[in-house]
Amino acid sequence: MSEQVDAMDATTVVDATKPLDVTRLVDDSGALARRMGIVLTEATPERTVGTMPVEGNTQPYGLLHGGASCVLAETLGSVAATLHAYRLFRGYAVGVDISATHHRATRAGLVTGVATALHLGGAVATYEIVVTDGDDKRLCTARLTCLLRKSSSR
């Protein structure tokens, strides 16, 4: 499995021979982020922000699916961690641990996720991701840890 991840991430998402294109981090990260409707609105290693529609990302009861909140959280944290790895050694990041607490539900609108760095190391980066609704009410708090990897295309 690690060979598949290395090959995909190193050659598709991060090409160390070229400047990093932040929009490609979501566009090239696979069909899931696109299918979920995730849009980046701000991206730095310290803070990355994005939105996702509730519509199309619900569970059978019409509520935002908890897994959708986790997809948003991991996408934002992984983008931020990849920006950090790229800044350090033109590398990329892979998520190795995620946990989430769901505080309240929502049925409609757009949710916003804000990934804030808790630790930016040389091998690991950790983020807190807060997902809120249109009224700025907290829906979910997630924590993501990413392993920083060197790109094989270097």
Q: Residue 72 in contact with residue 114, Cβ under 8 Å? A: no
Closest CA to 127 of 147, 137, 142, 113: 142
β-bridge mates for residue 51, sequence order: 39, 112
- Judged by DSSP in three states, 114 sits in strand
β-bridge mates for residue 64, sequence order: 58
Opening angle at CA 14, ends 11 and 151, nearest 5: 75
Known catalytic membership, residue 74:
yes
- Catalytic entry in 42, 55, 74, 128: 74
- For tokens 């757009």, name the residue: 110
Structure tokens that stand for 33 in this block:
């982020």
Active site residues per annotation: 74
